[in-house]
Amino acid sequence: MVKKIIEGKLIYFRNLNIQDIDNGWLKWVNEKEITRHMPYVKSKKRKELAEYLKKNKLPYSKIFAICLKNNGQYIGNARLSSIDKTNGTAIYGRLIGEKNFQGKGVGSEVLNLLCIYAFDYLKLNKIFCGVLNNNISSIKSNIKAGAIKEGTWKNHVRINKKYQDIDLYSIFKKNFKRKYAKKYW
C-alpha cells in the first residue's frame, strides 16, 4: 500500500523514491520540451538524480512524487527546498513530466497541495519561486493559488544565447487560496 502524504481532487503526493528515476524522472529532466521553462534544470544521469534524491531530505528539502488518484500513475515531482524554519520560508517547484497532464490544471492542484504542506505541516509563512516571464501557465497557476509578483531579476538566466528575466512570485500563508485536501501526516 502506498503511503499518501496529501491528496487533492485529481492527484496525491507520496515520497519520491529511487525507482521513480527509471519510471519517468530521468526521461523528463532530459527532455528539452518538458524543461524549457526550467533554466536551472540541466541534463542528468541516473547517478546524479540518485545523489540529488539522497541529499534532499527534511528538514531542508522535501521532494514528492505526484501521482494520479484514479490509478496511481506517477506523472511528476513537486518540491520544497531551502526550507528555513527560522524565517518561515521555502522555495517551491513543480515538474509535470507526463505531457498529456500539462495545461490541464494539475499544476494548480500541485501548488495548492504544496501550500497546504508548507503552511499546515511545516508551519511556514511564505513560499516563493522564480518564473520565466514567458511561462504563462505557471504564472496563471501561481496567481490562482494567491501568489503575488514581488519583483523581477533582470537578465538573470541565459537560454539559447539570450538573457531572460525571472519574475519572483510568493505565496504568503495569509493570502493562500485554500482548496480541499485530505492530509495523512
- One digit per residue, the tens of pLDDT, for the chain of length 185 reads 889 999 999 999 999 999 999 999 999 988 887 777 777 666 679 999 999 999 988 999 999 999 999 999 999 999 999 999 999 999 999 999 998 988 888 999 999 999 999 999 999 999 999 999 888 889 998 998 889 999 999 999 888 889 999 999 999 999 888 887 888 87
Rounded alpha-carbon distances, angstroms, from residue 64 to 16, 46, 56, 68, 116: 5, 18, 11, 13, 13
122: which 3 cell numbers? 511545516
The one-letter amino acid code at 67 reads C
Count Cα neighbours of 59 within 13 Å in the Cβ-side half-sphere: 8
